């Protein structure tokens, strides 16, 4: 997996919030708190084959990654949610989760750097 390209596109957030830096910072803070929690929840759910939690966490994360412009994760989360809903193919979920985890960790680094522009 490439590590040299940006995974986030902050243009939607910037266009939507305009000069309201305090709101952008709040959204960033929520992302930085929520996404690691959801990743942990998914990891725990995979260990237990708890498809309901996988489905719910993937669904919750879709809006967070969308706001941060992490478009490559939309189909990953959509598929994880669908597999969770049908309680099927834990191996496929594990593979998708590897991409999700890697990309989110990269995104978190980018977002932490971006957050400095809003303090």
User: Structural domain boundaries of the chain?
Assistant: 11-118
**What CATH number labels 11-118?**
1.20.120
pTM of the predicted model as reported, rounded to 2 decimal places: 0.88
Chain Cα centroid distance, residue 16:
19
Local confidence band at 4 (pLDDT 50, 70, 90 cut-offs): low
Structure tokens at 8: 């986030």
Q: Residue 89: enclosing H or E segment and its boundaries?
A: none
pLDDT score of 107? 97
Q: 116 near 85, Cβ under 8 Å?
A: no
Residue 2 has pLDDT above 60, yes or no: no
Least confident segment among 7-16, 26-35, 47-56, 80-89: 7-16
Which of 84, 77, 89, 86 lies closest to 39, judged by CA? 77
């Amino acid at each position: 997996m490439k590590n040299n390209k940006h995974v986030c596109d902050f243009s939607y957030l910037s266009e939507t919030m305009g000069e309201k830096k305090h709101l952008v910072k709040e959204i960033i803070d929520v992302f930085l708190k929520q996404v690691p929690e959801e990743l942990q929840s998914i990891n725990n759910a995979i260990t237990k084959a708890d498809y309901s939690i996988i489905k719910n966490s993937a669904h919750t994360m879709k809006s967070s990654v969308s706001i941060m412009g992490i478009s490559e994760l939309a189909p990953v989360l959509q598929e994880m949610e669908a597999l969770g809903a049908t309680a099927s193919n834990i191996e496929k979920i594990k593979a998708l989760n590897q991409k999700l985890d890697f990309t989110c960790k990269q995104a978190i680094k980018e977002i932490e750097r971006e957050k400095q522009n809003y303090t």
